[in-house]
Amino acid sequence: MSRDDVLMPAEDSSRNDSTYIDAGDVCLETRGLSLGYHSRGGRRQSALDDISLCIERKRVTAFIGPSGCGKSSLLRTFNRMTDLDEQSRLTGEVRLEGEDIHARGVDVPMLRRRVGMVFQTPNPFPMSVYENVAFGLRLVGERDKRHLDDKVEACLRAAALWDEVKDRLFDSALGLSGGQQQRLVIARTLAVEPEVLLLDEPASALDPISTLKIEELIRSLRSRLTLVIVTHNMQQAARVSDATAFLHDGRLVEYAPTDQLFTNPRRRQTEDYITGRFG
């Protein structure tokens, strides 16, 4: 199999010539993935149309594209958050380490522990900072106080939040600033030791300083797990990611290593978008 096939295994591999993912390095893979929403009138609205791509392990992959092009939808199929929308219909395949995540008998909570997700708006639980981080551990029945303490500290350190919250571990998490809350959510997600971390515009609700901190955090996590980040900020994608996919209108237009996509886009549409001529 050519490397080319691996990156975009669908038929139209002609779109793409960045051939660098080893088959053994593929973490997430979609094949012919389509997603439609039933709107009120009974009409089907397509959000994703025949998407096939591979995501490399322990790299940062960014999804960019204009608003409403289906970036979030694509991300949400990776941990089956799309199941929550009763009107959504999904066809095609998503494979995590080769396993079809939509197969019968898949343990969805287990899948979501392996594929963590951070949302656009910080959503800490109305509990203490400590309990937020311990939440996922308590779910799997962790009771040992010492172990919990250690784990909470390690995760908060990994999320570069420890120094700011170590004196207020038992205060409500809702008292933290927006940037701190988002890093707390990342720490909370790290606590269940996911293999993949999905970030849906994690910094779009934050101020520039907080955004910078989140970006640093993403770079520091790169060695530990596979990251997929959705962003509408192209500079951000260029700064943090190794590979970038450009989506438009539910279709995957171009997918290439980041420097290549930004300096030498193959597609006209991509070029227009990254030079700001549309979108």
Partner 1 sequence: MRHAHTSRTPSKTSLLRPPEHLLARLSRYWRDGGPWGWLNAMAVSVSLLLMMGLISLLLVGSLGHFWPSRLVEIALLEPMTQTSETSDADSAAIGNGQHLLGELMREEVRHVQTASGTSRPRQWWLLQTSSEQSAAASWRWLPKDMLNALTFPEQALALELRDGRVLYGMAQALSDPTTGELVTTDVSGSGKPLAEDATPLFVRLDDIESQRRNLAALRSHGEQLSKQLTALTQQYAARHDSGTVTAEFEEEISAARQALITREQQLMSLRDALTAGQLQLAGRGGHDGQIALEEIKRAWQPNALGFGGRLSLTLNRFADFISDTPNDGGEGAWPAIFGTVLMVVLMSVIVMPFGVMAALYLHEVAHQGRLTQLTRIALRNLAGVPSIVYGVFGLGFFVYGVGAGIDRLFYADQLPTPTFGTGGILWSSLTLSLLTLPVVIVATEEGLARVPRRLREGALALGATRFETLWRVVVPAASPALITGLILAVARAAGEVAPLMLVGVVKLAPELPVDDSFPWLHLDRKFMHLGHQVYDLAFQSSDAFSNRPLVYATALVLVVVILCLNLSAIRLRHLLAQRYKGATE
**Do residues 247 and 8 lie in contact, with contact meaning Cβ atoms separated by under 8 Å?**
no
DSSP one-letter string for 185-247:
HHHHHHTT--SEEEEESTTTTS-HHHHHHHHHHHHHHTTTSEEEEE-S-HHHHHHH-SEEEEE
User: Is residue 190 within 8 Å of residue 155, measured between CB atoms?
Assistant: yes
- Smaller CB separation from ligand ADP, 36 or 136: 36
Binding partner of 109, given partner 1, ligand ADP, Mg ion, none, CB within 5-8 angstroms per partner class: partner 1
Query: What is the nearest approach in angstroms of ligand ADP to the Cβ of residue 74?
Result: 7
CA distances from 100 to 43, 82, 174 (A): 28, 15, 37
The total number of residues shown for the chain amounts to 279
Closest CB to ligand ADP: residue number = 72
Task: Please tell me the distance from the alpha carbon of residue 181 to that of residue 187, in angstroms, as a whole number.
Answer: 10
Closer residue to ligand ADP, CB minimum distance, 87 or 220: 87
Round to whole Å and give the CA distance between 217 and 214. Answer: 5
CB 279 within 8 A of CB 270: no
DSSP result, 22-36: -GGGEEEEEEEEEEE
Rg (CA), the chain: 19
Q: How far apart are CA 187 and CA 162, in angstroms?
A: 10
Q: Is 77 in the site for Mg ion (CB under 5 A)?
A: no
Asked whether 186 and 162 are in contact (CB, 8 A), the reply is: no
Closest to partner 1 by CB, 41 vs 276, is 41
Using CB under 8 A as the criterion, which residues of the chain lie in contact with partner 1 when the complex forms?
79, 81, 84, 109-110, 112-113, 116-117, 119, 121, 123-127, 135-136, 139-140, 172, 174, 185, 188-189, 192
Indicate which of ligand ADP, Mg ion, partner 1, none lies near residue 135 (CB less than 5 to 8 Å, by partner kind).
partner 1
Q: Closest separation between CB of residue 136 and partner 1, Å?
A: 4
Q: Which does 265 bind (CB under 5 to 8 A by kind): ligand ADP, partner 1, Mg ion, none?
A: none
Q: Which CB sits closer to ligand ADP, 7 or 47?
A: 47
Judged by the rule CB under 6 A, the positions of this chain that interact with ligand ADP are 37, 45, 47, 65, 67-73, 85, 87
User: Minimum distance from CB of 102 to ligand ADP (Å)?
Assistant: 18
Asked if 72 interacts with Mg ion (CB under 5 A), we say: yes
- Structure tokens, 33: 């993935």
Residue 3 CB, nearest distance to ligand ADP (Å)?
A: 28
Q: How far is the CB of 10 from partner 1 (least distance, A)?
A: 28
Q: Which residue is nearest to Mg ion (CB)?
A: 72
- Judged by beta carbon distances under 5 to 8 A according to partner kind, the member of partner 1, ligand ADP, Mg ion, none in contact with residue 106 is none
* Smaller CB separation from ligand ADP, 19 or 45: 45
* Site residues, Mg ion (CB under 5 A): 72
